[in-house]
Amino acid sequence: MSPLLSLYLRPVGGARRPHVSFSHTETDRRLLTQLVPPLPAIMMLKKLSSSVAPRCMQTFQGRAALSTKTVVETYESPDHYFEKDRIDAGDPSKRAFTYFMLGGARVAYATAARLAVIKFVGSMSASADVLALATAEFDLSNISEGSTVTVKWRGKPIFIKHRTAKEIDISNQVDVTNLRDPETDAVRVQKPQWLVVLGVCTHLGCVPTSDAGEYGGWFCPCHGSHYDLSGRIRKGPAPLNLEIPPYAFIEDEKILLG
């Protein structure tokens, strides 16, 4: 086999070449002539590529520069028409106007924020109707001694008891150490003869019956809680004494609830 033909049949990657025998004939020479291009043709292609490549690069760069120039002329206004309205940052004649505009904008923003805060806080304040319901005055002069009246405040019953001297003594003689919710009578009243309590049982919220029960105060018929003449729990499932609502004496016999 001819050396040129053995070159084209060289194994790739170290693989073993199959054993094939060839005869050195005229056919081999014609085949090699067709596979291997003539040397002058190779030199011509190399010369052509070395001369054409720089020209292509110059053409591409020229077109890119032309495109960039077109973009600049389109968007950056090369005639500088906008310069006539431009204000320099250090222009003293325009500085006062700039300060005036900035100051006015800040004042407007501050005023708007202040109004928004005032409106928000005002919406959280209680209205006149709500305030009227929150407090209530009651005249005690019509309540006879030893009796109890029920008034309504904030949708809840309020017990007002005009206690006698005997009832006051009985309430003060109680040993508070034996009570479920220890409280002396003195801390539950502002004036000894007047007891003001919330008429809601501390067990499950029922309304107790006045002047009833084993201790002469209140009795809850729902589950059998007994309260004494000071509204303290003495017997039954209720865990706490009757609640004392916020009140104050505005006159000798007139109170303000709330």
Q: Which of the residues are catalytic?
A: 223
- For residue 203, give the nearest of 184, 170, 180 by alpha carbon: 180
- For residue 196, give the nearest of 182, 206, 210 by alpha carbon: 210
Q: Sheet with 156-162: list strands edge to edge.
A: 148-153, 156-162, 194-198
Instruction: Find how far residue 92's CA is from the centre of its chain.
Output: 47
**Largest CA-CA distance found in the chain, in angstroms, rounded:** 150
Coil, strand or helix at 57: helix
Beta strands 148-153 and 194-198, pairing class: unpaired
Beta strands 225-227 and 218-220, pairing class: antiparallel
Q: How distant, in Å, are the alpha carbons of 3, 6, 16, 25 from that of 20?
A: 14, 10, 12, 15
- Our CA dihedral for 73, 74, 75, 80, rounded to 10 degrees, sits at 50
DSSP, res 17: P
| Contact call for residues 138 and 151 (beta carbons, < 8 A) | yes
What is the C-alpha to C-alpha distance for residues 241 and 229, in angstroms, rounded to an integer?
Answer: 11
Instruction: Give the dihedral sign, CA 175/181/187/188.
Output: negative
